[in-house]
């Protein structure tokens, strides 16, 4: 996923994946350190929690300057493979965050 305008231009790639069956983790790779600094400021944890429909106090955030990565982790609201699960590997949650960044 690559962006080309506005805040989406700050992002090189976004990936989401299970961290075991009970957690989801989303890595936002910024294009460089300056983009990382801008996005850290613009992207609130509350907005990410809202997009994932998870309580903000369950969302963990890591701003990793050395990698220009913002990482979010949260317990899955639906456990991997449970009857209501639609995304076995958690691959699509990152799309929500990309669209959130696009709209900033």
Partner 1 sequence: MIKVLIPSGALGISVDPDALERGLQMQPDIIAIDGGSTDSGPHYLGTGTCKYSRASVKREWRLLMQARARLGVPLLIGTAGTCGTDSMVQWLLDITREIAAEEGQSLRVATLECSQSPARVAQAFDAGTITPLAGAMPVNREDITGCSNIVALAGAEQINAALQTGAEIIIAGRSTDTAVIAALPLARGCHPGGAWHGAKIGECGALATNNPATGAILIEFDTEGFTVHPTGEGVRATPLTVSAHMLYENADPFILHEPGGHLDVTAATYTAVEDDSSVRVTGSVWHPSERYTVKLEGARLAGYQTISLVLVRDRRYVEAIDQWISQLREAFVQREGSNIAGDYGLEFRLIGSNATLGALETRRQEAHEIGVLVVITAADQQAANDIAKLLNPYLLHYALTPNEPMPTFAFPFSPPEMDRGGLHEFVLNHVMTLERPMDAFALNVVEVGT
Binding residue (CB under 8 A) for partner 1 from 2, 6, 21, 32: 21
Query: For helices 45-52 and 93-102, what crossing angle results, to 10°?
Result: 130
Nearest Cα neighbor of 70 from 5, 2, 15 is: 15
Cα distance between residue 11 and residue 14, in whole Å = 7
Among 7, 73, 102, 104, binds partner 1 (CB under 8 A): 73
Is 27 a residue that touches partner 1 (CB under 8 A)? yes
Tokens read off for 88: 């076995």
Least distance to partner 1 from the beta carbon of 42, Å? 18
Q: Please tell me what DSSP assigns to residue 5.
A: S
Binding residues for partner 1, rule: CB under 8 A, are 17-23, 25, 27, 29, 51-53, 60, 62, 64, 66-67, 69, 71, 73, 75-76, 79-84, 86-89, 92-93, 95-96, 99
């Amino acid at each position: 996923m690559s962006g080309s305008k506005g805040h989406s231009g700050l992002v090189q790639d976004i990936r989401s994946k299970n961290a075991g069956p009970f957690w989801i983790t989303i890595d936002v790779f910024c294009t460089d350190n300056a983009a990382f600094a801008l996005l850290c400021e613009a992207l609130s944890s509350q907005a990410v929690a809202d997009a994932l429909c998870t309580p903000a106090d369950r969302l963990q955030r890591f701003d990793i300057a050395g990698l220009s990565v913002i990482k979010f982790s949260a317990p899955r609201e639906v456990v991997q493979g449970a009857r209501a699960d639609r995304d076995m590997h958690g691959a699509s949650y990152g799309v929500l965050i990309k669209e959130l960044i696009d709209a900033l």
